[in-house]
Amino acid sequence: MAVACSLDFYEKGTTVKYFLRHRLLTFVPYRLGWTICWFAYRFSGWRIDVFGAEKLPKRGPVIYAANHLEFHDSIALGLHARRQLSFLAKSEYFNKGSLMGLLVTIGFLLIGQISTDRSGGKAGNALDEASEVLSHGDAVGWHFEGTRSPDGLLYDAHTSFARVAQATEAIVVPVAFVYPADKLVEVHFGDPIAYSVLKRLKPYEVAELVVTRVQEMSGQQRAGKKATVGRKIGQAILDVFKKSE
């Protein structure tokens, strides 16, 4: 299975800046990176079992709302989402002061990833860029816990993805990662949640609905709280939306 490769990737209403940033400049690097990762998984002994991929929307704005257990969750999702994804990646990946850090930054930018600053008051830029991606009918990968689970528990979701989904009329697909054995990852895609359902709910209700569906697929125990590292992000996001009201 190859990542979707549409020839109509310059559509009516697409701004020049967006076309350059998220389509033209990322078209070849994203597919090259996809191919490298596919071969890396295939020959490293890792196996990815995928469930529910037939449910995935082929077009239109989609948020893949996933739990987060390992660093390569995002890679496994990108390999099997059947869409080019932009992920919200923590800004630490972009700001390392070394040659390797520079190469990582360039690589992340070339595949259309979005830098998310964890410090207070700066989350708005990432949310704006994610909203722009969705408003152009593209897809975003979003780890709703805000950080990797430190103990394997499923932490409560931040409501940022729900607010952005409602603002952009996006579909939300719950995604659960499970690691049942060594070098084996399962990617479970839940039933897509349509905007017609999302618009009737409060953001915290959307977040709880997604976490519940992810728990049903992953079998994780609920932590009953937000992940510690993500609290600063959540507060920054809340401040952004308060300012916009």
Tens-place pLDDT, residues 63-79: 999 999 998 898 899 99
**pLDDT per residue over 139-189, tens digit each?**
999 999 988 999 999 999 999 999 999 999 999 999 999 999 999 999 999
Nearest to 79 by CA among 105, 59, 53, 45: 53
**Following DSSP, what letter does each residue of 140-181 receive, concatenated?**
EEEETTSS--SSS-BPPPPTHHHHHHHHHT-EEEEEEEEEEE
- Would you call 101 helix, strand, or coil by DSSP? helix
Asked if the structure places residue 120 within a domain, the reply is yes
CA–CA separation, 126 vs 90, rounded Å? 10
Q: Give Cβ neighbours of residue 36 (< 8 Å, ≥ 6 apart).
A: none
Domain assignment present for 57: yes
- Does 210 fall in a domain? yes
Does any domain span residue 179? yes
Residue 30 pLDDT class (50, 70, 90 cuts)? confident
- Choice between 106 and 61, residue whose per-residue pLDDT is larger: 61
Is 215 a domain residue? yes
Has residue 9 got a pLDDT over 70? no
Q: Please report whether residue 8 resides in a domain.
A: no
Q: Which domain holds residue 194?
A: 16-244
Contact 186, 120 (CB under 8 A): no
Answer whether residue 237 is part of any domain: yes
At 101, the pLDDT band (50, 70, 90 cuts) reads: low
The Cα 245–Cα 231 span in angstroms is 21
Count CB atoms within 10 A of the CB of residue 68: 20
What average pLDDT score do residues 184-202 get? Answer: 98
Q: What is the mean pLDDT of residues 7-18?
A: 56
Total domains in the fold of the chain: 1
Residues 55 and 64: beta-carbon distance below 8 Å: no
Average pLDDT for 185-203: 98
Tell me whether residue 22 is in a domain.
yes
